[in-house]
Chains A and B, each alone.
Chain A
Amino acid sequence: MSEKVEKKEKNKLDIVQFLVSNALIILIISSAIFVGLQNPRFFSMANIKNLLANTSVRMVIALGISGVLIMRNNDLSAGRQVGLAGCICATLLQRMDYAGKVYPNMEPMNMWLVCILVMIGFAVTIGLINGLVVSKLHVPAFIGTYGMQTIVYGIALIYTGAQPIGGLIPEYTDWAAGSFMGIQLIPNLAIVTLIVMVFMWFLYNHTPYGKKMYAIGGNPDAAEVSGINTTRMTIASYMIAAALFALAGFMLGAKAGGTSSNLANGYELFAIAGCTIGGVSVNGGTGKVSGILMGVLVFEILKIEMTFLGIDTAWTYIVQGIVIVVAIALDIRKYIAKK
């Protein structure tokens, strides 16, 4: 008899546990159903494709910053890096017949070559410098990368002359607007993100780099004692991040159809929040690619839901802020409970 009661109690606990640990997914699904009932267009192909395209760009940024966060660092220059990369890509991919072309006599380059060059360029300049500043000069990441944020913004202003850059070649913009092999639901952008996700998942779970990254985040002192070169690892994490921010800039420029120096301003905060909501612990050492996807999706779905409900933009900011605080409070609770 008492055993049965105990079992019941245990089941009850399990349900509570399940609800707490899956609160996000439950919240998202139930709210989506609610919004869908209010406005059936919420579940339309176009809307879902739009959601996926938005999420794709944000996800690449979040993945870039995740490695840095897992090693207990931070990168506040992420958004500005995306913006500068977008501007550079745009200037190299303008139509010959566009009146305000930045390099009037230059043929537009191959877009994939541009993408790769910008990724490499960002990694070996901004990423390397961020990494050196944090690991070699021991500047706290929060401040060091904030400095980089304003530097990159300044460079973007000078580079663009504070003018918007338009007239992009159709090849570039059409690619971003297009669907993968004609499947309406899946934008081309999502395929790039999928490739990046698989790459990062492999890097985090199947290479020494990944294991060392989690080790440094878990206990930097023990990592040092275990013979892990924390300096080299920190630099590598910033370089990988910068390459992904550049890729995101390439994607975002195409998606927006034009860029300016203000492109992607503040995106790092959404990326950090998305990572944290998705389980990248604020105490370092944990975080999975799937979790990060969940965190980023929560944000994007929430935004679209609020648009569909016709909520004023001002209010969407307030709701987003509340979601960040509540989600992280929940995350910390889990951590404290285990202690």
Chain B
Amino acid sequence: MSEYILEMKEICKSFPGVKALDHVSFQLKPGHVHSLMGENGAGKSTLMKCLFGIYKKDSGLIIYNGEEVNITDPFDALNRGIAMVHQELMPIRERSIAENIYCGRYPVHKYGPVSVIDHKKMNEDTQALLDDLGLDFNATEKLGTLTASQMQLVEIAKAVSADAKIIILDEPTSSLTLREVDKLFEIIKRLTAKGCGVIYISHKMDEILQISDEVTIMRDGQYIGTWPASELTTDFIIAKEVGRELKDLYPPKVNTPGETIFEVKDFDSIIEGSFKDCSFSVRKGEIFGVAGLVGAQRTELMEAIYGMRGITSGTVFYNGQTLKIKKPEDAIKNGIALITEDRRGNGIFGVLSVSDNVAVASLDDYLQYRIMLNHKKINEVVNKSINELSIKTPSTKTQIKNLSGGNQQKVIISRWLAKEPEVLIMDEPTRGIDVGAKYEIYSIIGNLAKEGKTIIVVSSEMPELIGICDRIMVMCEGRITGIVEGEDMNQEKIMELSTPFMN
């Protein structure tokens, strides 16, 4: 038997247009904490999903406990002793903590063919587990009564209860308080003492250096290297994480920012732990970037400005005028548009045609005889968009769900261009889009800014922001930690500002 409990060898995985994993290897020793680091999109989650059978790997070997395995789904993984605590939890809020922990593998009494759930055993075992881990919860309490960070601890308890040999923690501390982080580390130490291997995914340098035995760094789907944590420094990790050169991925800058025109003041979220004290201002004709890690609350802040989320305080000014924005409709009337992060969720109308998808936000501008839509005018606008943004579609009547991601995104951009907004907020405008289409979208952004539109781009891809923006605002845990421009607009500086406990 080898010294590793888990070996992943030369794993490859491609999605249409993207090589997500390119011969990535990873080894985990029993009783060790092995951290996996890299930027958003480096392929960490994809690698873990391949381990779990959520994605099917294209090639490569997974050796678990000395045997080659082919895990088909998360349930199979759990049965083999591999458990994962996801970054985004899937709690069943209305059921008790015990039921959440034993979900799908409830202890039962067997009466012939009939299985009856043994609630007593389930509750007692859960309580014992919670007590053992030093978690001060009642097993029969509804999960929904806990805070988000407490639920995260319950989720970790669930992984422990499964008697897992390997536990994967994906950004486990993103919603934990400092004290809870200490609690988590205690639990991790107890697990490793029992010989359990832990894969720890996080952006937080100090935590990584504190808890890990080894660190593996990935970048752009490639394996960069593995080092013992004791030999690493924060600077070294950042350099390895971002160390790529920018080639001609971005069009030349064509815009020149003018006077400050769009201001956001004192935005506080209605939700505890979301954004707080956020103020910034953007100039006319400027491309203003917003950077940050997952959970930095960038999307939440932008959606709040647009009237989609509740705030306890906050004012938006355009050209010195206060704007009253309670819902998206108000924002649009004031010349603000938002291209949302979740294209499928609240961007496209899948069953509607390309034409309808373009026209939907500006229908009232195409009236004739006061009530009737002027289809000719709509067609002109749609065809103009298709030509200008070179949207590839069989016809204007094609359902948008049949288009590629990049073309769908261009249709949504057209939707807002038809409305001629003064301020255009784009949240992850190039997510899931191939490189060619990205370049075209950057060009569109540049041209809009040149025409004097104010553009705000939220992105998790730092090179993209550095490549196209005039200034970049960095957020961390709901707060604005700095605005960089000129010389300071580099990945090291941005990473530093977006990493918690470093500033």
Contact = CB atoms under 8 A, between A and B. Distances in A.
B8 interface: no
A104 to B, nearest CB: 45
B137 to A, nearest CB: 31
A174 to B, nearest CB: 36
A281 B352 CA distance: 13
A207 B371 contact: yes
B27 to A, nearest CB: 39
A206 B373 contact: yes
Interface string B329-369: 10111000010100001111111100010011101100100
A245 to B, nearest CB: 24
Nearest to B338: A225
Contact of A208 (B329, B347, B349, B363): B363
A9 interface: no
Nearest to B366: A208
Contact of B329 (A214, A221, A227, A283): A227
A226 B331 CA distance: 10
B346 A208 contact: no
Contacts of A212: 360, 363
Interface in B398-439: 415
A215 B356 contact: yes
A96 interface: no
Contacts of B346: 219, 221-222, 224-225
Contact of A225 (B328, B359, B367): B328
B356 A214 contact: yes
A135 interface: no
A225 to B, nearest CB: 5
Interface string A207-237: 1100110110011011111111100000000
A265 interface: no
B373 A219 contact: no
A187 interface: no
Nearest to B349: A218
B372 interface: yes
B361 to A, nearest CB: 4
B328 A219 contact: no
A262 to B, nearest CB: 39
A67 interface: no
A219 B350 contact: yes
Given A207-B371, A219-B346, A229-B329, A285 B364 contact: no
A285 B359 contact: no
A227 B361 CA distance: 6
A214 B415 CA distance: 16
Nearest to B400: A218
B162 interface: no
A281 B351 contact: yes
Among A214, A225, A281: residue with most chain B CB under 10 A: A225
A207 B356 contact: no
Contact of A285 (B308, B351, B363): B351
B356 A227 contact: no
B349 A215 contact: yes
A320 interface: no
Contact of A214 (B340, B352, B371): B352
B366 to A, nearest CB: 8
Contacts of B327: 224
Contacts of A227: 328-329, 331-333, 361
B348 A219 contact: yes
Contacts of A228: 329, 360
Contact of A211 (B348, B359, B415): B359
A160 to B, nearest CB: 39
Contacts of B367: 208
Nearest to A224: B328
Given A206-B373, A207-B373, A208-B364, A222 B351 contact: no
Contacts of B360: 211-212, 215, 223, 226, 228
A218 B328 contact: no
B363 A211 contact: yes
Contacts of B328: 224-227
Interface string A176-214: 000000000000000000000000001000111001101
A50 interface: no
A221 B350 CA distance: 12
Nearest to B401: A338
A316 interface: no
A153 to B, nearest CB: 34
Contact of B352 (A208, A215, A224, A229): A215
A139 to B, nearest CB: 19
Nearest to B308: A225
B372 A211 contact: no
B309 to A, nearest CB: 12
Nearest to A226: B361
A283 B345 CA distance: 15
A212 B333 CA distance: 17
A207 B351 contact: no
A280 to B, nearest CB: 12
Contacts of B352: 214-215, 218, 285
A222 B349 contact: yes
B373 A211 contact: yes
A214 B348 CA distance: 13
A176 to B, nearest CB: 31
Interface in A284-309: 285-286
Nearest to A283: B351
A224 B329 CA distance: 8
24 contacts: A206-B375, A207-B372, A208-B373, A211-B360, A211-B363, A212-B360, A214-B356, A215-B356, A221-B345, A222-B345, A222-B346, A222-B348, A223-B360, A224-B327, A225-B306, A225-B308, A225-B328, A225-B338, A225-B347, A226-B328, A227-B332, A283-B351, A285-B349, A286-B351
Nearest 6 Cβ contacts at the A-B interface:
A221-B346, A218-B349, A208-B363, A227-B332, A226-B361, A227-B329
Given A202-B372, A224-B328, 14 more contacts: A206-B373, A208-B367, A211-B360, A212-B363, A215-B349, A215-B352, A221-B345, A222-B347, A222-B349, A224-B327, A225-B338, A225-B340, A225-B347, A226-B328
